Structure 1
Amino acid sequence: MRRMAVFCFPALAGILAVPIAVANHDIDQRPGPPPHSCRMGMDMQQGEHRMSGMQMGGMRMAGMPILGEFRALPAEIDSESNPITPAKVELGRLLYFERRLSASGQLSCNSCHDLASYGVDHQPTSLGHKNQRGTRNSPTVYNAAGHFAQFWDGRAATIEDQAKGPILNPVEMAMPSEKAAVAAIRAVPEYVARFEAAFPGETDPVTFDNIANAIGAFERKLVTPSRWDRFLEGDGNALTAEERAGFQWFMHSGCASCHSGTFVGGNSYQRLGEAVPYPERSDLGRFQVTRQASDRMVFKVPSLRNVEMTAPYFHNGKVATLEEAVTRMARYQLGVELLPDEKRVIVAWLKTLTGELPAEYISEPKALPGD
């Protein structure tokens, strides 16, 4: 039998209309429907072992699929509206770890987005002010500056906008107002001097917007290059045969319809349960922002960079392992039941997205003296 791989990847549709031999099966690749109505067609007999006899030495590899819109990470993710400067980055690092930006004086950005733990807290949902639990899993801050929107529901356009939210959220850091947050920072004399250096020419640089701008500038430096980037830059030895097979199967299964680009995701919204209704439907996703019926169960597609290190998974943090996450995505988004070997090689490739943490930024700096 032949497996029909249906792509929902407009940029690749024209150039992928050729068969590629993978794991001793010929796969016809044809243009598919638009991304928001992605479907995967299967023409396989139930129980056929699609990856049968898969030996890395004997696998027929007819070259890698066209890489298309996949790109290596930049050294930093700059912004015209908030240019990166050394003074701004160092100030942002201090503010990222600053507990005085919380009502209790006990929480910081790093509490939920731990830089030493790949930017997450490994909790289904995070503990916040007075031990309240949030309703959604805390996504990693690494590489997030390049995403097209922030939060699971996309309610913030940039990381600078995003940085303001947790500070004022009564369940998270719970500062009562922007004015209170600014007052807490202004009470520290060295902060005032650092804001003046980071935002030269401003009459009164210690503002809530500039708190967010400094944190954003710091986060724009938080990129994690990986073996996948080395491969994209031309190092053919960066990936093993098994990992290359995993990328092929990732493409052939239709995963790239949502997870593509520099960040392997983070660049679109998709409905959870596109092919098969998702069983947990209490969180309506982007509908809570737009109130548009078409946005029910729609979420921002997360980046898969560092996915190996950022469990648990999904918007509610209810999926504990990467293997289960792959199984669920194939089932509910693509209508595919992956066989064990297919899942194994996909997971092997996903692990090549695990990057190097920026050592100069992950340790907590000494807090500035003040009230």
Structure 2
Amino acid sequence: MSLSPNAALPPRIPADDGLDPKQRRHAIRRALVALAIVILLGMLAFSAYALTFPERMPATIGLLVEDITGANPAPVHLERPPVAPLSALALLGKQIFFDASLSASGKQSCASCHSPNHSYGPPNGLSVQLGGPHMDQDGYRPPPSLAYLYRQAPFSIGPDANDADAAVNLNAEAAAAQGVPRAQKTAGAAPAAPAIVPQGGLFWDGRADTLQKQASGPMLNPVEMANKDTADVVDKLAHAKYRDMFEMLFGKQIFDTPNLLIDEAMSAVSRYQIEDPSFHAFTSKYDYWLEGRARMTQAEIHGMRLFNDPDKANCAGCHLSRVSPDGLPPVFTDTQYEALGVPRNRTLAQNKDPAFFDMGVCGPFRSDIATQTQFCGMFLTPTLRNSAERGVYFHNGVYHTLKQVMDFYNLRNTHPDAIYPRDANGKLQPYDDLPARYRANIDVADAPFDRKFGDPNAMSDQDIDDIIAFMKTLSDGYKVSAN
């Protein structure tokens, strides 16, 4: 074996160093061990860099991430929300959250559709939940999870959050955004241009700016809790078993001011969601792996690399996976809106009408920016935390497994016949859940949607299995080993 002149060698031990041969061999051995330690430390540091910035790593070098131990070589400290006893207002909110008597049927509470046993998402795999006065009405959309909303900003359009004290003209913001190219989303890299798209807000279309407003929406929704009007809600609150808590917190006169009563009730629900740790537990395997307290399998590590790979799954382009500079754990969403072109769910009641289209930000359930048609078909990007615990996905509940979701991303452009139906004449109907005039809004720039018909798929079946394995590490409730 020959070595180049520049090859790393142990320090040369002079022959006239006064050492006998045995001592000289020991000295050489120690030098070799020291060199091996230096090389190992360098590899660990490089692996940490590759984990943090996988998009900067060539594919062959990126394999260093798949450390045989499954441990995070660069643990971090996560800044979780503080844990404290619930305030009196939050305790009142908890009672309201679980009170089915507040619905017209007497059988539906907030927790019915946002089950604490299912990460505050739907408790089953139905495309939409049943509600209404007799619990026989189909909902319009599957309930999003209420978990991890404590950092959600109000709805806005443009690169910067709006001043909370300033009057917001969304149509003016949207008009200013017209003609500005949408920033391409690449995992691990900040966009080269401002994100001139809607962001923030609650519900699939962002029509509620606060948890308080979100909590009040189902109360009067005819296919949810289905109260006839605010007087109906006030009467139910006045006869609730926790009436005395209202009087203790706000005085007996609160029941003489109906609008204030409802405002305070919904404020209490929002405080419960903010204060109770179960809404933002950060107890997933991934959280503990970030902290160096858990080890991933090789499949999970490979899935994480693909999740963060800008040329493969590119999931992290929208579902941000990095810890913030100040140590906040990732919530796996950029809280922006995307038009993905998911296929129409023909089982939904409203979709029996072929002329009906749910177009998200521009209607039908919000109307304030309906004229801003550049946003038609856009829906809020949800958190992927606890997504493996859901039984329904996307705004229309068309898919029921993560495998179906990943196949959609993988095949939508390369094999659209596997995603979309054909009409009576056998013609393929791509993007069939959005009117043709708005289909230019659908994302065809971000990987894996940047591929064309007949191109190789971005991911293999094994890749998809590994990505799903990684996504399962985002479920809360992981038990850390004592070892």
TM-score, structure 1 length as denominator?
Answer: 0.71
Matching of residues 160-179 of structure 1 within 5 Å? 160-179=212-231
Alpha carbons of 1:73 and 1:109: their partners in 2 closer, same or farther (altered >3 Å)? Answer: farther
Partner residue of 2:145 out of 137, 140, 145: 140
- C-alpha separation in 1, matches of 2:301 and 2:53: 19
8 Å Cα contact 1:227/1:352 also seen in 2: yes
Matching of residues 229-308 of structure 1 within 5 Å? 229-235=287-293, 237-252=294-309, 253=312, 254-260=314-320, 262-265=330-333, 267-273=335-341, 278-280=342-344, 282-288=357-363, 289=366, 290-291=369-370, 292-308=372-388
Residue 191 of structure 1 aligns with an amino acid whose one-letter code is Y
Residue 57 of structure 2 aligns with an amino acid whose one-letter code is P
Q: How far does residue 88 in structure 1 lie from its aligned partner after superposition? A: 1.8
- C-alpha separation in 1, matches of 2:340 and 2:61: 30
Residue 392 of structure 2 aligns with an amino acid whose one-letter code is P
Q: How far does residue 20 in structure 1 lie from its aligned partner after superposition? A: 4.2
2:112 is aligned to 111
1:38 is aligned to none
1:209 is aligned to 263
1:121 is aligned to 123
Alpha carbons of 1:271 and 1:75: their partners in 2 closer, same or farther (altered >3 Å)? Answer: same
Matching of residues 183-198 of structure 1 within 5 Å? 183-188=235-240, 190-197=241-248
More divergent stretch after superposition (139-148 vs 162-171): 139-148
Q: Does 1:91 align with 2:107?
A: no
Matching of residues 35-114 of structure 1 within 5 Å? 60-61=64-65, 74-75=80-81, 85-114=86-115
Residue 243 of structure 1 aligns with an amino acid whose one-letter code is E
Q: How far does residue 202 in structure 1 lie from its aligned partner after superposition? A: 9.4
User: In percent, how many aligned pairs have the same letter?
Assistant: 28
Q: How far does residue 172 in structure 1 lie from its aligned partner after superposition? A: 0.7
8 Å Cα contact 1:140/1:310 also seen in 2: no
Q: How many residues align?
A: 296
Note the alpha carbon deviations across 1:48-104, whole angstroms, 9 max, x for none.
Answer: xxxxxxxxxxx543779x9xxx995734699xxxxx952122211111111221112
**Tell me, which stretches of 5 or more residues in structure 1 are unaligned?**
1-13, 28-58, 79-83, 358-371
**Tell me, which stretches of 5 or more residues in structure 2 are unaligned?**
1-51, 153-199, 322-329, 346-356, 413-442, 452-456, 479-483
Alpha carbons of 1:249 and 1:15: their partners in 2 closer, same or farther (altered >3 Å)? Answer: closer
- C-alpha separation in 1, matches of 2:110 and 2:138: 15
SS of the equivalent of 1:250 reads helix
Q: Which structure's relative contact order is higher, taking Cα pairs within 8 Å and 6+ residues apart?
A: 1
- C-alpha separation in 1, matches of 2:465 and 2:77: 24
Alpha carbons of 1:231 and 1:193: their partners in 2 closer, same or farther (altered >3 Å)? Answer: same
Residue 263 of structure 1 aligns with an amino acid whose one-letter code is V
1:340 is aligned to 461
Residue 213 of structure 1 aligns with an amino acid whose one-letter code is S
Alpha carbons of 1:330 and 1:202: their partners in 2 closer, same or farther (altered >3 Å)? Answer: farther
8 Å Cα contact 2:95/2:242 also seen in 1: no
Q: How far does residue 285 in structure 1 lie from its aligned partner after superposition? A: 1.3
TM-score, structure 2 length as denominator?
Answer: 0.55
